[in-house]
Amino acid sequence: MSGSGYYASPPALPPARPVRRGRRRLFFVAMLLLTLVACDVLARGYLMLVLPYGSLETLIERQQSAATGAAVSEGASEVIHPYLGWVHNPQLSRAEEMDGREVQTNSLGFRDDGEAVRRRSADVFLLGICGGSVAWNFSWEAESTLRQLLSALPQLQGRRLQIVRLALPGYKQPQQLMALNYVLSLGGEFDAVLNIDGFNDGALSILENARQKTSIAYPRSWHARSLVMTDPRISAEAWRLLTLRAERQQLGRRALQSPLRWLALYQLWWHLRDEASRAELSRLGMQISQSNSGSFLHHGPLPEKESTEEQAVAAAELWIRSSQQMQAVCRGLGIPYLHVLQPNQYVPDSKPFTEYELERCLADGQELQSVTSAAYAELRAAGARAKDRGLAFSDQTGVFSGVTDTLYVDPWCHFNRLGNELLAKAVAGELAKVLAEQR
């Protein structure tokens, strides 16, 4: 064979082992999972930076609120009321804790731990408290102080003080007057009524109503609160507003039902979508509000006064007339009434400020300070004149004048528990005088 010139071909190599497709797929899936895990970790880290409490539960709570409709827009838990302007919606408002008690929204829309319509009894002294946020905070944080100081009065012997809260944050006259009349018309009874107000009635009537061409007599920022009511002239814009709210609600419902809801990456996607919708709602709301500048539906009769001074006088006159009407109604029913002008940091020389108050409780701009100062000057003067004519009125703007502790908590008008307790001591003394006069 070797001499024949024939050379045998080398043996064939074994065929290359094919890479299994299954391994490629497994590798692809593994890399995809690793990428998803990495992205989820990054999303979680981002959310922990931007969320108030740094947890996915915060977003889930927001989704639940959006799904129910309670948070599809600012003030969604409020409802337009035929007599009071607006109240809270008991079907949407969440419970909150105040002074160790769970506070619900009662059947009339007031934030209280009981119903607004109650009857007098031999063992309970019913004290109605009217006003805005200061009065509402006072009704909780000063309750024990009031109970202690008033317990020695003859009218409270053998009786337990029970507060009926007709105050709601944002209320201004004549809402206090209307709330009192409304509850009385439904059969509510009181042993005394305390009205604590001033800032909303003066400063906000100017800044949030008159400056926006909204009637001073209308509820605070009525042009914004009434956007849910459609002016036929701008039906297209109103339809878009309602559509955006519906989209936010649907997005919240889908997020709660999604099997991916526990992934931070999915929650980040929802958060960015929801924030975009909120921004669009805000932009559209501003656009509609500007389009409604001459709408009677949203602004009421146009303010006739142009200057801050004239507006302050008009606001003070409305405020004091409303209080006189409250006293007249109470007097006709034999109910002692006391009107208290709440303290405010922009009243000159009303308190020595601490470093905290100087840094955090005074507005940077001058407009809030100047308008509030002008409004309070008129409120104090109107109150003094009405007191001379028989109104049970107490000017408490100087109640903190000798207090060097920190009392105010924000640049508006709110103070802490100590401030409420100090105000309660002063108010209890004034209320005792009113009760003594009507024995």
Spatial separation of the C-alpha atoms in residues 260 and 326, rounded to whole Å: 56
Does residue 313 sit in helix, strand or coil? helix
Contact 408, 363 (CB under 8 A): no
Question: Quick one: pLDDT at residue 63?
Answer: 72
pLDDT at 157: 94
What is the per-residue pLDDT across 18-59, written as a single tens digit (0 to 9) for each? 556 667 777 777 777 787 777 777 777 777 776 665 566 777
| pLDDT score at 73 | 54
Using the 8-state DSSP alphabet, how is residue 233 labeled?
Answer: G
- 29: number of Cβ within 10 Å: 10
Q: What is the pLDDT of residues 130-183, one digit of tens each?
A: 999 999 999 999 999 999 999 999 999 999 999 999 999 999 999 999 999 999
Evaluate whether 413 touches 207 at the Cβ level (below 8 Å): no
Q: At what angle do helices 417-437 and 143-150 cross, to 10 degrees?
A: 30
User: What does the radius of gyration of the chain's CA atoms come to, in whole angstroms?
Assistant: 31
3-class SS of residue 162: strand
Q: In the chain, what are the domains?
A: 95-223+302-437 (3.40.50.1110)
The structure's pTM equals 0.77
User: Is residue 402 a contact partner of residue 351, using CB atoms and an 8 Å limit?
Assistant: no
How do 101-105 and 111-112 pair as beta strands? antiparallel
CA atoms within 13 A on the CB side of 209: 31
User: Is cis: bond before 174, omega within 30 of 0?
Assistant: yes
Q: How far apart are CA 382 and CA 319, in angstroms?
A: 9
Averaged pLDDT, groups of 10, the chain, 439 residues long: 55 56 73 77 73 66 68 69 94 80 92 96 97 97 96 94 97 98 98 98 96 93 79 63 78 81 77 81 70 76 83 97 98 98 97 97 89 97 98 98 97 96 98 90
Q: Which helix (H) or strand (E) segment is 236 a member of? A: helix 235-257
Q: Give the pLDDT confidence score for residue 33 in this predicted structure.
A: 76
| pLDDT of 252 | 80
- Give Cα 403 to chain centroid, integer Å: 29
Phi, psi of 215 (to 5 degrees): -55, 135
Nearest to 322 by CA among 176, 170, 199, 426: 176
